[in-house]
Structure 1
Amino acid sequence: MSEVFLMLVSVTGGTGFVGAHSVAAFLRAGHRVRLLVREPSRVAPALTPLLPDLPSAEDAVEVVTGDVTDEEAVGRAVRGADAVLHAAAVYSFDSRRHASVRRTNERGAEVVLGAARAADANPIIHVSSVAALFPAPGRVVHEDTPVGRPRETYMASKAAAETVARGHQREGAPVVITYPPALLGPHDPRLGDQTARLRDVLRGLMPLWPLGGLPLGDVRDTAELHTRLLTPYGEGSGEGRARHFGPGHYLTTRRYVEVLREVTGRRLPTLFLPARAMLPAGLLADLAQRVCPWHLPAQYGAVYVCACATRVGEGVSTGGIVPRPMAETVGDTVRWLHANGLLSDRQAGTARGDLTPVRAS
């Protein structure tokens, strides 16, 4: 068993889906945590459900108020930290958020990784995305797959941030990159795109799906990966070994709907069409979304992912974590949505009851 280093970890994006689950995993492992957040009022709602044994989730972390594009605030957040987890990003295919996606994701990576490096943090974990590698030149992606050149705003912003992180790696900085797949799981503080999409399917708002597939995993597995990476990254370890894929599965869209049917016991009638044939409709939906005050379930980005996503190659590093079965992940997501009044009894079907207990690390 590897030696455990207890650290002060500075975290950006700690009130988001990946960030909150990672912070909870860090605290359960005995680390101390400092959060950089724009709105301190979001800390308790994000962490309390994940840390029920603590008298106050807010008291368990130190909070610095600021934005990831604010150099002064970021400098205060990382000062004296042993390690940094940069998980802040705007993850959305919503066309109304394109400007904030580009600004936060690329500029945030420049500011945070640069400040963490200046503060001598080790490791500096940059949360990228497997989408940053799409479209890939081969049939699988792996640690040495070049940065993608996608024609979609969110994916392009993550590719730009990935370029920043790889630049630090080439210069010998202790930057470690993780590539989470699309993530589901319980306790999503802001009902992100993937959780909202699953909910839309069960509410009958997505009877039409593109053919293709997507990488999908459990947020709790990615949080465990981040915890296992909290050891000082030694010199001469090599760029490739500083890149790790979030545990997950590649699911065709047909299989995704099948898993939902199995978990809920519902029929969920669905029509599948070629993804590339649906791209023009996705573009039209994005244009309509810019003027429509309501959320539209059809998005160009989601269709584009299905059109260009490929599998993660065998033998890549996932921190030694075996991904949970998708039925467990999807079931816990549906149960959480139902328990919080976001799905009716009919919509949740047979997937009602208690969540899967937290796994021991």
Structure 2
Amino acid sequence: MRVLVTGASGYVGSHAVKSLLASGHRPRLLVRDPGRTGRVLAGIGVDADETEMCGGDMLDREAVGRALDGCDSVIHAAAALGVTGRRTDLVSVNVTGTRNVVGGAVARGLDPVIHTSTIAVFVPPAGPVITSDAPLARPRTGYGRSKLEAERYARSLQDDGAPVTIVYPGGVLGPSQPHLDAMPAGLAAGLGIAWPVSPGGVSLLDVRDLGDALARCVEPGRGARRLILGGHYVRWPEFADLCDVLTGVRCRRIPLPGGLMIALGALLDAAKKVHGFRYPLTRDAAELMVTLVPSDDTVTLDALGVTLRPLEESVADTLRWLAAAGHLRPSRAGRLGPVPSGATDDDARRHPDAAQ
């Protein structure tokens, strides 16, 4: 099938392209900068010549329409995250973009139309486990409101009988993120500066598994679906302990009650406007950190035939990449850091993961 992908120069979209090619599909990419997209794809082992690129912005309805014409399906993976403090027009990207791409695909009769949402639309959660029929939250942040509005639009199309599949991923991690943000950025800051230990936990999903899941959603005739894919849920102390084991270096921990964590996030939001420093804790992120509960992914994993890779593998690959890319100091990456230039064979043996 010819599948249009938005966000192909981003983290999730690029891995969706790779998985589509592996599954025998023909990806068409809506891109603003073909050169940048080509470099991102090359970074994960994808030859851009195997794809078809269409120049345009998803906020341009006519450009989106031209890209959709002749396609059988679409994966809408482009989004502005807005959780870690990057300033952007969240409503334009997350709402207008969804209307143009998802709405345009439905109008043209594409099947399926796949919308990448987020588990954050259920946060703060109403119960101890997040499921696909859980009530939507009432977020107070710009990011949360923009994603919720896009979510409601996609659901309205489902209610009208459109074959829209909505996928709800958790916190995405893994190697080769084109622009450091969200979960990998938080991981680098936690190990490099300090690890806030608060109530709650985090759902961790490998970007490679998410790419495979999105590609497997490309199956016509399944109708409307809502697929929860939060990934592995761990509490913050357990996550810190896992990083200690993998790196061999104990990270600095700062215990913070939930209310204080949210207040600190709000304070940092205000401080960043004045001083412009980077630390990926915001009020949005803090609320997710202290209130998130596990998700029930059983239906999604069974429906798509996806098996999630072990959490230890995903975290190790993320840390190894963060260190290699210069986002994490070698002293904090420990045994996952790159072997120094001129190291002896004995050094390499003491850093077996870095030599791989």
TM-score (norm 2): 0.90
**Counterpart residue number, 2:10:** 16
Give the superposed CA RMSD. Answer: 2.0
**Counterpart residue number, 2:307:** 322
**Counterpart residue number, 1:151:** 140
Amino acid at match of 2:205: G
**Counterpart residue number, 2:340:** none
- CA shift in 2, pair 1:334/1:291, >3 Å: same
1:293 correspondence with 2:276: yes
SS, match of residue 90 in structure 1: coil
Contact 1:95–1:290 (CA under 8 A) maintained in structure 2: no
SS, match of residue 137 in structure 1: coil
Which blocks of at least 5 consecutive residues in structure 1 are unaligned? 1-6
**Counterpart residue number, 2:93:** 104
- Greater displacement, 221-230 / 348-357: 348-357
1:312 correspondence with 2:302: no
**Counterpart residue number, 1:266:** 249
Amino acid at match of 1:152: T
**Counterpart residue number, 1:4:** none
- Greater displacement, 143-152 / 214-223: 143-152
Cα distance between partner residues in 2 of 1:233 and 1:189: 34
Amino acid at match of 1:283: A
SS, match of residue 324 in structure 1: coil
Amino acid at match of 1:43: T
SS, match of residue 109 in structure 1: helix
Amino acid at match of 2:189: D
SS, match of residue 350 in structure 1: helix
Amino acid at match of 1:227: A
SS, match of residue 151 in structure 2: helix
Cα distance between partner residues in 2 of 1:207 and 1:28: 38
The offset of 1:151, in angstroms, is 2.0
Amino acid at match of 1:31: H
1:43 correspondence with 2:31: no
Cα distance between partner residues in 1 of 2:231 and 2:284: 20
Deviations 1:315-361 (A, max 9, x none): 3323232222211101001111222233332221112466999xxxx
- CA shift in 2, pair 1:340/1:247, >3 Å: same
The offset of 1:287, in angstroms, is 1.2
- CA shift in 2, pair 1:333/1:129, >3 Å: same
- CA shift in 2, pair 1:327/1:261, >3 Å: same
**Counterpart residue number, 1:219:** 207
SS, match of residue 148 in structure 1: coil
**Counterpart residue number, 2:27:** 33
Cα distance between partner residues in 1 of 2:277 and 2:252: 24
SS, match of residue 290 in structure 1: helix
Deviations 1:218-249 (A, max 9, x none): 11111111111111034xx5x4xx11122611
Contact 2:335–2:354 (CA under 8 A) maintained in structure 1: no
SS, match of residue 311 in structure 1: coil
The offset of 1:26, in angstroms, is 0.6
- Greater displacement, 266-275 / 122-131: 266-275
Contact 1:96–1:290 (CA under 8 A) maintained in structure 2: no
**Counterpart residue number, 2:62:** 72
The offset of 1:95, in angstroms, is 4.1
**Counterpart residue number, 1:331:** 316
- Greater displacement, 333-342 / 301-310: 333-342
Deviations 1:268-325 (A, max 9, x none): 1202211222212211111111232331343211111012212113633232322222
- CA shift in 2, pair 1:277/1:293, >3 Å: closer
Contact 1:222–1:247 (CA under 8 A) maintained in structure 2: no
1:120-199 map, 5 Å: 120-199=109-188
- CA shift in 2, pair 1:37/1:71, >3 Å: same
Amino acid at match of 1:345: P
Which blocks of at least 5 consecutive residues in structure 2 are unaligned? 338-351
